[in-house]
């Protein structure tokens, strides 16, 4: 065999693999750089909004004022938060953001923005944020007002609608409301000679409370009219509304909750015990007599409680217990009494301040009703100017100046702003109803004619469809008792204006009448309206 030819080239004891030769490494580096460049170009392409799968730039949050450390904007709210928030809307726009402790809050302060939330995003804002009032007063969210949105909430609302607030139920309870209005007139007649005058808001409160009590629990709360018990009950309701209107620091700064720095929770617990004894009294009076055949709401609920198992579908099949009953009654007595009487008191104060409007309304009442009997609910549809007076009162003096809070279930977009999940929504009902953009330059004047046929706002109603005037709220969380409240306010105001002339006491003149507000969850007068009633109908009208 031929021998191998010798070579002088030496072989490395550790030869490089093919992929690590200099030529191969230069090739890999070029591939890496090319790939990196492609990634960078693609990223820039997408960031600039190109490509079918591009992400949109993140929307901004609404504007708003800077807050304090820890507490946020809470110290800036003042004693009339609806006024403060109206001023902030003039600075930051009709949708602005606040921070209450760790909670993000947005405020709607125009009809357009309110409509965006309560119509387009109503479902997303159908729940309430956690709060001390719901926990410590409203039986730990077992009531209607603060109950989580769902089957149980729908069952409670349906129950109220069927037995109190439907058209059929309202008509069936018409004589109850008319009888209480007549009793109010009788009490006023007996006090008409008193030079000291009387607190007409207290009288209206007794009327509203007794009418609602007859419908809800089958008996009057105040059999003797304006006595010590009536004053105590009104004080309880006013205290509750004042506490509910406080922005409790412990709700927004969890680390301070145990301290209860404002003493709000302690007051709520004491007040709850007083209400609970009252509700227990209503229930215990019935004992074993309630079999579900009674006409009042308490009889119906006690009867349903004893059904086992409950009948019906998802909503009808909700099983109620005694706490549910007490929580619902608490809602009715707090939300359905003082809101009515305070609105009536504001209406009468405005009419006294505007004698020409008062005379025009009395003239309409005399034309429709006459002077030989009192007003009845069947007269109300014919009283066009009365309806305008009531709307104008709701506009300038909404019973709830700030809506009850709602909370966002998911992120959403409103008017070009990002509203994150868990953001609390407040609607400034008071500011919206005084917005010159919606109401014109005479926005601060008491001018009911704006609602008359041919007026600038003849088509505007208060039932939640016109967002410039939403004293009862709007959307699925609108006040369940809207129809009852509207009838009660209208009938009571009509009765007072028709049956009496009104004079102020202690030398007070109409132009000097104090119209200052006292803030709470409901809008009270800072100074009660003290007046002297003067009968203006035939004597027979007061005895029928």
The DSSP symbol for 54 reads P
* Angstrom distance (rounded) from CA 41 to CA 39: 6
Of 78, 312, 329, 137, nearest to 216 (Cα)? 329
Strand extents, DSSP E, 84-236: 95-100, 103-108, 198-199
The DSSP symbol for 533 reads E
* Angstrom distance (rounded) from CA 544 to CA 534: 18
- Residues making up the annotated binding site are 479
Phi and psi at 115, nearest 5°, equal -65, -35
Tokens coding 244: 């509910």
Residue 530 burial by Cβ neighbours in a 10 Å radius (0-12, 13-18, 19+): middle
User: CB neighbours of 208 closer than 8 A, spacing ≥ 6?
Assistant: 180, 336, 337, 338, 340, 341, 344, 488, 492
- Residues making up the annotated binding site for heme are 479
The answer to whether 188 and 533 have CB atoms below 8 angstroms apart is yes
Report in angstroms the alpha-carbon separations of 393 from 339, 344, 388: 12, 9, 9
* Angstrom distance (rounded) from CA 75 to CA 518: 18
* Packing angle of the helix pair 482-499, 200-217 (nearest 10 deg): 140
3-state secondary structure 223-290: CCCCCHHHHHHHHHHHHHHHHHCCCCHHHHCHHHHHHCCCCHHHHHHHHHHHHHHHHHHHHHHHCCCC
* Angstrom distance (rounded) from CA 501 to CA 454: 29
């Amino acid at each position: 065999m031929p021998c191998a030819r010798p070579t002088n080239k030496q072989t490395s004891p550790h030869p490089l693999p093919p992929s690590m030769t200099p030529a191969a490494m230069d090739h890999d580096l070029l591939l890496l750089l090319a790939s990196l460049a492609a990634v960078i170009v693609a990223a820039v392409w997408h960031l600039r909004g190109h490509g079918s799968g591009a992400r949109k730039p993140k929307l901004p949050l609404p504007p708003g004022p800077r807050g304090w450390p820890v507490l946020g904007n809470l110290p800036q709210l003042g004693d009339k938060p609806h006024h403060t928030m109206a001023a902030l809307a003039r600075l930051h726009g009709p949708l602005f953001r606040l921070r209450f402790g760790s909670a993000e809050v947005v405020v709607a302060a125009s009809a357009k923005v309110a409509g965006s939330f309560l119509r387009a995003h109503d479902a997303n804002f159908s729940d309430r944020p956690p709060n001390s009032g719901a926990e410590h007063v409203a039986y730990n969210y077992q009531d209607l007002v603060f109950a989580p949105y769902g089957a149980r909430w729908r069952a409670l609302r349906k129950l109220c609608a069927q037995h109190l607030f439907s058209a059929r139920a309202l008509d069936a309870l018409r004589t109850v409301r008319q009888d209480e209005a007549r009793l109010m007139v009788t009490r006023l007649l007996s006090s008409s000679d008193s030079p000291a005058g009387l607190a007409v808001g207290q009288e209206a409160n007794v009327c509203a409370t007794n009418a609602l009590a007859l419908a809800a629990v089958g008996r009057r709360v105040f059999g003797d009219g304006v006595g010590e018990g009536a004053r105590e009950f009104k004080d309880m309701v006013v205290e509750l509304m004042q506490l509910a209107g406080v922005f409790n620091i412990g709700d927004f700064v969890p680390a301070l909750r145990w301290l209860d720095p404002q003493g709000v929770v302690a007051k709520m617990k004491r007040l709850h015990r007083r209400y609970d004894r009252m509700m227990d009294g209503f229930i215990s009076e019935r004992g074993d007599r309630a079999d579900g055949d009674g006409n009042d709401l308490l009889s119906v609920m006690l009867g349903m409680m004893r059904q086992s198992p409950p009948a019906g579908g998802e909503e009808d099949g909700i099983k109620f217990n005694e706490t549910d009953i007490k929580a619902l009654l608490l809602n009715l007595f707090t939300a359905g009494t003082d809101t009515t009487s305070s609105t009536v008191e504001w209406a009468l104060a405005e009419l006294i301040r505007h004698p020409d409007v008062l005379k025009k309304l009395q003239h309409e009442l005399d034309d429709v009703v006459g002077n030989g009997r009192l007003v009845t609910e069947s007269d109300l549809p014919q009283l066009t100017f009365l309806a305008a007076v009531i709307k104008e009162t709701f506009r300038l003096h909404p019973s709830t100046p700030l809506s009850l809070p709602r909370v966002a279930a998911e992120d959403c977009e409103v008017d070009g702003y990002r509203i994150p999940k868990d953001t609390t929504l407040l609607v400034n009902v008071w500011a919206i109803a005084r917005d010159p953009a919606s109401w014109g330059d005479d926005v601060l004047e008491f001018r009911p004619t704006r609602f008359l046929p041919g007026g600038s706002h003849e088509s505007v109603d208060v039932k939640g469809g016109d967002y410039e005037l939403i004293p009862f709220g709007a959307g699925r969380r609108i006040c369940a008792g809207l129809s009852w409240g509207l009838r009660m306010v209208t009938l009571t105001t009509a009765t007072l204006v028709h049956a009496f002339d009104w004079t102020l006491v202690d030398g007070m003149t109409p132009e000097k009448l104090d119209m200052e507000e006292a803030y709470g969850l409901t809008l009270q007068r800072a100074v009660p309206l003290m007046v002297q009633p003067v009968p203006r109908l035939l004597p027979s009208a007061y005895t029928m």
